[in-house]
Amino acid sequence: MDWMNTPDTLTPASGPRHVAMWTVAGVLALAACSGGSAETTVPTTTAPTTTTTTTTTTTTTTTTTAPATTTTAIPPSTTTAPATGDAGGGWLSLFTLVPDTPNNRTYIVATNYAAAAAISGVQAPPSGATDDQIRDYLFAVEAGPDPGEDGGRALFLAGPPATFGERFMSAPGDWRTEFGFTVVDVERDLIAGSPPGVVIFFEGRLDPDTVTAALHADPVWSSDLETVDHGTGNYFRWGDDYELDIRRTSAARPLGRGGQLAVGDGLVIRTYGSPEMEGALDSLGGRTATIADDPVAPALAGVLDEHGIYSAILIIDTAQFDAAEVPGLDGAGPRLAPFTGLAAGSGFDAATGDGFSFFAYAHEDTAAARENAVRLQALLDSGSTVRGRPWTEVFDEAIVSVEGTVVTVRLFREGAPSTWLQVVLARDTLVLWEAAA
C-alpha cells in the first residue's frame, strides 16, 4: 500500500479509482497505527496522550433521558455557522469554531468539500444517496476536472478518513442511519485535537429535525440516548465519556463509542468526551477564546484563502517540530529557523491543471520570514528528506514566496496531492526547525 511510504519513497497513485480513496484513508491511518484509540484518525505523531480543556465558568448541567420529541440545539446566537453552512466564509470562519486549548493547538485538519467539488465540476448527490453514489461522488471530486483513464488523483480530501472515520468508505450510509447525515450533506468539516479528546465540526445542509429523528430511530444506540443542558447549549449523549463498546461497532462508530452530539441549523458538533463538547459550546457562546483569537490563525488563514487551499492542517504548537528531537538528521542539509505556526494543504492550479502541496510558515515579523524563506529555498535546492532522498527528486517544481510575516511554498509533483500530509505526519525536514546555537 503506497500510503505507508514517506515522501522519499512514494510513487504516484494509479490504477482503479477505488484505490485512490482508500489511499486517503491510509495516509491518516498512519497516526492510528501509533497507538491512538480515537474513532477517527487525526495525526498523533507527537501529540499529548492526555486531553486538555479550557477552564470555563461553572455551569449547572442537567441530564435527562431524551424523549422522542427532544431536539437539542446550538442557540443561533452562539454559533458562527449560518443556516446553510459557510463554505464560502474563508478559513478563519472555520478556526473561529475551535476552542483554544493546548490539545487543539496540536492538530486541526479541515476540508472544504464544496470548494473541491467546484474545482472538479462535480455536484453533490441528494441526501438520500446510496453508498455507491456517495463513493462515486468522492472519487469524482478527487479525480479533478480532467480525470485520466488511469484513475489517478488531481485532488486530495483529508476529511473523510479524519472526520468520518477510517471505515467510512465501507458503508458511508451508516452515518445517515445513526446521525441523520453523511458526507454528501457536508460542505466543510474540521477535526481538532488528539484522540480521544477530539472535537469535530460539520457544516452544510444539516437539519436539526432530521438529525434528531435519526438519533431516536437508531435501533442500536437510541436506548442510551440522553440530553444534557449545559447552559450555552444542550446536547445529546450516549453512555460514559470515551467509553468503547466493541459489540456495537459500525462504519459510523468503528470503535463503538457513544460520545456526544450537538446540532444547530447547518452545524453539527461531535465529540467523545463531555469536556470537549462543553468546551466547544462555551467557545461558540463567547465564554472562552477560540483558535482564531491567536494572531497566527488569521495570518495562516489568509494565505490558505489566497492560494485556494481546499483541504488543510493547521498547527500552532510548533514545538513538536524541533529538529533536536528527531534522530538521524546528519547530512539532511539546511535547516529552517523556528516558526510560530504551520499550515499545509492541497491546492489546484486551474491554469496548468495541476494539483500541488502547500506549506505556510508564520513568523513574529517580516525579517524572520525573509530569513526562513532563504533557508527554505536552500533546503529544497540542496537538502533531503529524513531518509536521504534529495527534495529535488521528490518535487518537480517549488515556488517560494514571502507574504508579510508568512513564508509560503507551492510544491508540484504529478500524481501525489497528499504529499503535504505525509511530510507533516513523518515530521520530515520541510517542517523541522533548528534553534540558533
Residues contacting residue 275 through CB under 8 Å, at least 6 positions apart = 51, 53, 197, 241
Q: What is the pLDDT of residues 298-327, one digit of tens each?
A: 999 999 999 999 999 999 999 999 999 888
Please name the amino acid found at residue 318.
Answer: T
pLDDT score for 87? 44
pLDDT classification of 65: cutoffs 50, 70, 90: low
pLDDT score for 45? 32
Strand 62-65 to 225-229 pairing: antiparallel
Q: Do residues 345 and 313 make contact, with C-beta atoms less than 8 angstroms apart?
A: yes
pLDDT score for 152? 72
Q: Do residues 152 and 14 make contact, with C-beta atoms less than 8 angstroms apart?
A: yes
pLDDT classification of 285: cutoffs 50, 70, 90: very high
Q: What is the pLDDT of residues 328-358, one digit of tens each?
A: 787 677 899 999 999 999 999 999 999 999 9
Residues 197-224, mean pLDDT to the nearest whole number: 97
Cis amide prior to 48 (ω within 30 degrees): no
Q: What is the pLDDT of residues 361-416, one digit of tens each?
A: 999 999 999 999 999 999 999 999 999 999 999 999 999 999 999 999 999 998 77
Q: What is the pLDDT of residues 239-276, one digit of tens each?
A: 999 999 999 999 999 999 999 999 999 999 999 999 99
Q: At what angle do helices 131-143 and 17-32 cross, to 10 degrees?
A: 90
pLDDT score for 44? 33
Q: What is the pTM of this model?
A: 0.85
